[in-house]
Amino acid sequence: MRIGLLTGGGDCPGLNAVIRAVVLDTLRRDGECVGVLEGWRGLIDDATRRLGRDDVRSILHQGGTILRTSRTNPFRSADAVERLLATWKKLELDALVAIGGEDTLGVAARLFREFDLPIVGVPKTIDNDLSGTDYTFGFDTAVSIATDAIDRLATTAESHNRVIVVEVMGREAGWIATHAGIAGGAAFIAIPEREVSVAEIGRAVRARAEAGQSYSIIVVAEGAAVAGLGRGRRSAADEFGHALLGGIGQQVADALEAETGFETRVTVLGHIQRGGSPTAYDRVLATRLGLHASELAHKGDFGRMAALSGAEITSVTLEEAVAEVKTVPSELSELAAIVSG
Ligand code: F6P
């Protein structure tokens, strides 16, 4: 079989581990792999490269993606879809493994549904906001990086009796904020799923001060809902309708300092959360998901996405995976609130 592979959307530690797994499994089955460059753009513009054994040596631990990525949406124009189909035909692909999040897999689901293209998906995003899978690879790495940052910020915050607001990524879901906030022992965690007020955050800071803790770390998701403050949109919508988020951390810091009188600083972690090597957990998860996707492709079980369910790797339909954004359940945020402060 000739299997195409592409990575779309924001990059994420573990992408190369998936590529390696699919290539190794395909070669083992006497198949061949074609790397499609820069997500769906590579199929529209016919930009590809061969992927042999040597191409996937020493990439397991590397962040980013050797195939590059983009946020190209072929359904933005009829012409792009036609060109994509023409490239597919020219390449004589028997299957495509699309590694991506909600947007990339949304395109995959539509191409499968409307054109019967033999596609399987692998769930990728640091945001962990994809339905149908318990976790996505990249999330553990992002949480580890954010937790390490919180640990570091805590020592300087404590030395100066300061409040430090840490803004983390995650789009419209508070997964990174919740997990890193719990792991880092944050005084307060603000997420998109539950609106909070600056007064509420201020109460947490004051309560700590009264208990003898003269510093606080406040974790704020980039999409956090804070009453009276804008959601920090920084750009026009991209081809999938998403605006770039960011800036809410500074707004919270300013309002909190005015509210409490505590000296407050802000740190925006930004793309640091997406760069560098994947954790061991993400390497293993990405490898397992890649092997499962490869098996689905070789078996001809298309229109599905490899997924993690408990400790098992299984699969769900692409439609199921992209049906809705997976947000933090109230049970988890309530649990986080119990141990915050
Ligand atoms: O979806 C992953 C993500 O890192 C989000 O957490 C963030 O909002 C967005 O991508 C940033 O996008 P860009 O790479 O375009 O700056």
Query: Which ligand 1 atom is at minimum distance from the Cα of 71?
Result: 15
**Atom 13 in ligand 1: which residue has the minimum CA distance?**
10
Q: Do domains 2-137+278-321 and 140-274 have the same CATH topology?
A: yes
**Alpha-carbon span 291 to 21, nearest angstrom:** 6
The number of beta carbons lying within 10 Å of the beta carbon of residue 200 is 13
Cα three-residue angle 243-133-339, rounded to 5 degrees: 80
More confident residue, 158 or 237: 158
Task: Quote the tokens at residue 327.
Answer: 């947000």
Look at residue 235 in the predicted model and tell me its pLDDT: 75
User: Beta strand 312-317 with 304-309: parallel, antiparallel or unpaired?
Assistant: antiparallel
Which residues approach ligand 1 with their CB closer than 6 A?
10, 125-127, 169-171, 222, 244-245, 274
Is 127 noted as a catalytic residue in this protein? yes
**Between 3.30.450.30, 3.40.50.450, 2.60.40.3080, 3.40.710.10, what CATH number should domain 2-137+278-321 receive?**
3.40.50.450
**Ligand 1 centroid from CA 177, angstroms:** 14
Average pLDDT for 11-17: 98
pLDDT in tens, 136-148: 999 999 999 999 9
Ligand 1, atom 14, residue with closest C-alpha? 10
Domain extents in the chain: 2-137+278-321, 140-274
Burial (Cβ within 10 Å: 0-12, 13-18, ≥19) of residue 311: exposed
Average pLDDT rounded to a whole number, residues 260-288:
98
pLDDT digits (tens, 9 = 90+) for 179-188: 999 999 999 9
From the candidates 25, 103, 127, 129, give the one annotated as an active-site residue: 127
Per-residue pLDDT, 237: 86
- pLDDT tens, residue by residue, 161-185: 999 999 999 999 999 999 999 999 9
Greatest Cα pair distance, the chain, in angstroms, is 70
The DSSP 8-state label assigned to residue 213 in this structure reads -
Which CATH class for the 140-274 domain?
A: alpha beta
- Among the listed ranges 120-124, 217-221, 237-241, 331-335, which one has the minimum average pLDDT value? 237-241
Q: Give yes or no for residue 134 having a pLDDT over 80.
A: yes
Q: Which two tokens stand for residue 156?
A: 């300087």
Q: Strand 216-221 to strand 312-317: parallel, antiparallel, or no bridges (unpaired)?
A: unpaired
Residue 232's pLDDT is 66
Cα–Cα distance, 50 to 71 (Å, whole number): 22
Residue with the smallest CA separation from ligand 1 atom 10 is: 10
